[in-house]
Amino acid sequence: MSKSIEELKSLTTQIRRDILRMVHAVNSGHPGGSLGCTEFFTALYGKVMNYNLPFTMEGKNEDHFYLSNGHISPVFYSTLARFGFFPVDELRTFRKLDSRLQGHPTTHEGLPGIRVASGSLGQGLSVALGAAQGKKIDGDNSLVYTLQGDGELQEGQNWEAFMYAASKKVDNIISTIDYNGQQIDGSTDNVLSLGNLHAKLEAFGWTVLEEKNGNDLEAVIAILEKAKTETGKEKPVAIILHTQMGNGVDFMMGSHAWHGKAPNDEQLDTAFKQLYLEAPADY
Q: How far apart, in whole angstroms, are the C-alpha atoms of residue 279 and residue 233?
A: 45
Answer yes or no: is 139 within a domain: yes
Residue 232 contacts residue 147 (beta carbons within 8 Å):
no
Answer yes or no: is 129 within a domain: yes
Mean pLDDT of 147-163: 97
Distance of CA 4 to the CA centre of its chain: 21
Mean pLDDT score across all residues of the chain: 97
Q: Is the peptide bond before 105 cis (omega within 30 degrees of 0)?
A: no
Tens digits of residue pLDDT in 201-234: 999 999 999 999 999 999 999 999 999 999 999 9
Tens digits of residue pLDDT in 247-263: 999 999 998 999 999 99
Three-state DSSP class for 146?
Answer: strand
Q: How far apart, in whole angstroms, are the C-alpha atoms of residue 225 and residue 47?
A: 9
Please choose, from the candidates 112, 109, 100, the residue with its C-alpha nearest in 3D space to the C-alpha of residue 55. 112
Answer yes or no: is 77 within a domain: yes
Q: Which strands, in side-by-side order, build the sheet including 144-149?
A: 64-67, 144-149, 173-179, 237-242, 207-211
Please choose, from the candidates 141, 123, 197, 133, the residue with its C-alpha nearest in 3D space to the C-alpha of residue 165. 133
Answer yes or no: is 282 within a domain: no
Residue 105 contacts residue 155 (beta carbons within 8 Å):
no
Q: Which amino acid is at 35?
A: L
> What is the per-residue pLDDT for 54?
97
Q: How far apart, in whole angstroms, are the C-alpha atoms of residue 201 and residue 198?
A: 5
Q: How far apart, in whole angstroms, are the C-alpha atoms of residue 32 and residue 29?
A: 9
Answer yes or no: is 49 within a domain: yes
Quote the domain boundaries for residue 172.
Answer: 5-275
Mean pLDDT of 251-277: 96
**C-beta neighbour count of 79 within 10 angstroms:** 26
> What is the per-residue pLDDT for 1?
56
Answer yes or no: is 249 within a domain: yes
> What is the per-residue pLDDT for 119?
83
> What is the per-residue pLDDT for 2?
78
Tens digits of residue pLDDT in 97-149: 999 999 999 998 899 999 999 989 999 999 999 999 999 999 999 999 999 99
Mean pLDDT of 145-161: 97
Pairing of strands 182-183, 186-187: antiparallel
**C-beta neighbour count of 54 within 10 angstroms:** 8
Domain count, the chain: 1
Query: By percentage, how much of the chain surpasses pLDDT 90?
Result: 97
Q: How far apart, in whole angstroms, are the C-alpha atoms of residue 116 and residue 128?
A: 9
Q: How far apart, in whole angstroms, are the C-alpha atoms of residue 79 and residue 91?
A: 10
Q: How far apart, in whole angstroms, are the C-alpha atoms of residue 17 and residue 247?
A: 12
Residue 46 contacts residue 3 (beta carbons within 8 Å):
yes
Pairing of strands 237-242, 64-67: unpaired
End-to-end CA distance of the chain: 22
**C-beta neighbour count of 69 within 10 angstroms:** 27
Answer yes or no: is 280 within a domain: no
Q: How far apart, in whole angstroms, are the C-alpha atoms of residue 231 and residue 228?
A: 5
Answer yes or no: is 18 within a domain: yes
Handedness of CA 184, 42, 220, 280 (dihedral sign): negative
CATH of the domain at 247: 3.40.50.970
